[in-house]
Amino acid sequence: MIIIDHINLLGDNPLIGINDESLGPRFPDMSEPYCKTFVNLIEEIALEEKIKLQKGVYAAMSGPSLETRAEYRFLRTIGADAVGMSTVPEVIVAVHSSMKVLGLSVITDTCFPDALKPINIREILHFAQTAEPKLTTLMRRFVEKVTV
């Protein structure tokens, strides 16, 4: 999934504390944390490579437990398409530092609240391993095009 926006439900923010203005502004603008140019470029590459991608909103939860049925319903209601335990703090810091960000997430588990079943780590690892060569291709081509 190409991350086009995120929801920070971690209950924390990596910028809390004393700000060093040389690293970035006290209150960085987060209206476009994921670079639209990068999103368009990765979509173009995916089309060329015949790799299916979806765009979506990533919600960050603290974990390490997975979500309950009620939490999945809540996440869908507030606009989340995927949930994970990372990515958002790193993006906040990158935006704070005026970096352009491309966010990709490998979706390893579908979490439909009314069809929720116990986690199967072997399935999740299988999906991650299946996605790895496609993600490698996308990133290799992306880096080639961005650095030209």
- The candidate with the shortest Cα–Cα distance to 107, out of 79, 141, 134, 84, is 84
Q: What is the pLDDT of residues 45-55, one digit of tens each?
A: 999 999 999 99
| φ, ψ dihedrals at 76, nearest 5° | -65, -40
- Spans of all domains in the chain: 2-146
pTM: 0.92
**Assigned CATH class of 2-146:** alpha beta
Q: What is the pLDDT of residues 4-20, one digit of tens each?
A: 999 999 999 999 999 99
Helix (H, G, I), strand (E, B) or coil at 26: coil
Q: What is the spatial distance between Cα 9 and Cα 18, in angstroms, rounded to a whole number?
A: 22
Q: What is the mean pLDDT of the chain?
A: 94
